Amino acid sequence: MKVLIVDDEEMIRGVLKEYVEFEGNEAFEAADGMEAVRLCRDNDYDVILMDVMMPKLDGFSAVKEIKKIKDIPVIMLSARGEEYDKLFGFEIGVDDYVTKPFSPKEVMARIHAVTKRRASAEGPSPEVYTFEGLTVDMAGRNVYVDGEKAELTPKEYEILFYFIKNKGIALTREKLLYDVWGFDFYGDDRTVDTHIKMLRANLKQYRKFIVTLRGLGYKFEA
């Protein structure tokens, strides 16, 4: 596994690199967001550890630029723990968020969890699902609304994929948070509701398939 570590603090990069390589993975380093974007243009990585506050280009801006060219899982590393920052990160496609100071072992556990979820979501399943004018190509990670490709964030796609795999099943917000985000500590109901609101907007009239269960959660009915 190839891991890109992006942080302006050399000591933090060194500690994370040591743990990444200790488990038999390859570690690559970038000292700022601009360098990270350049590296991602020319190379492929399995996961990115991205600091938020950096010179030249901050972590959030770097993630947005990287997501334009490649869909690489991202774990944000930051001393800022405000809920707004976390929600913003998830909205632009961040997969997980670790607040400094952190344990390198915890970061490695997050890396394994994120890559495992992504591999499961992208599994070799060739199915194409059609619900009226909504077409979802699982293998190609493409969603079409009346023949027009919908531009979903990676997290919106994962939510829709999860809904389809659990079609007709009542899903609590807590279960969605745990199964799709892979954690149950940093997020809350608003994290789920915010992403589903954005997903519904992208599905246009087929938002009707995502049914709100008052006081419980959601269900995909089609």
- pLDDT of 162-191, one tens digit each? 999 899 999 998 888 878 877 544 556 678
- The winner for highest mean pLDDT among 79-88, 134-143, 207-216 is 207-216
pLDDT value at 12 more than 90:
yes
User: Sorting pLDDT into bands at 50, 70 and 90, what band is 141?
Assistant: confident
What per-residue confidence (pLDDT) applies to 121? 60
Nearest CA among 120, 119, 137 for reference residue 128: 137
27-45 confidence digits (pLDDT tens): 999 999 999 999 999 999 9
- The winner for highest mean pLDDT among 4-8, 110-114, 134-138, 171-175 is 4-8
Tell me the two tokens of residue 32.
Answer: 């700022």
Tell me the two tokens of residue 107.
Answer: 């970061």
Q: What distance in Å separates the CA atoms of residue 158 and residue 72, rounded to the nearest whole number?
A: 14
- For residue 145, the cross-strand partners are 134, 148
pLDDT value at 1 more than 50:
yes
What per-residue confidence (pLDDT) applies to 120? 65
User: Sorting pLDDT into bands at 50, 70 and 90, what band is 206?
Assistant: very high
pLDDT value at 156 more than 60:
yes
Three-state helix/strand/coil letters over the chain: CEEEEECCCHHHHHHHHHHHHHCCCEEEEECCHHHHHHHHHHCCCCEEEEECCCCCCCHHHHHHHHHHHCCCCEEEEECCCCHHHHHHHHHCCCCEEEECCCCHHHHHHHHHHHHHHHHHHCCCCCCEEEECCEEEECCCCEEEECCEECCCCHHHHHHHHHHHHCCCCCEEHHHHHHHHHCCCCCCCHHHHHHHHHHHHHHHHHHHHHEEEECCCEEEECC
Q: Which of 4-8, 176-180, 215-219 has the lowest mean pLDDT?
A: 176-180
Full set of structural domains in the chain with CATH? 2-121 (3.40.50.2300), 128-220 (1.10.10.10)
pLDDT value at 15 more than 60:
yes
* Residue range 129-155: mean pLDDT, rounded: 89
Local structure of residue 43 (DSSP, 8 states): -
Instruction: Please tell me which residue, 199 or 98, carries the higher pLDDT value.
Output: 199
User: Sorting pLDDT into bands at 50, 70 and 90, what band is 20?
Assistant: very high
Longest dimension (CA), the chain: 54
57-94 confidence digits (pLDDT tens): 999 999 999 988 888 999 998 876 666 666 777 778 88
Look at strands 134-137 and 142-145 and give their pairing.
Answer: antiparallel
On average, the pLDDT of the chain sits at 87
Q: Which residues contact 174 (CB under 8 A, 6 or more apart)?
A: 184, 217
What per-residue confidence (pLDDT) applies to 106? 87
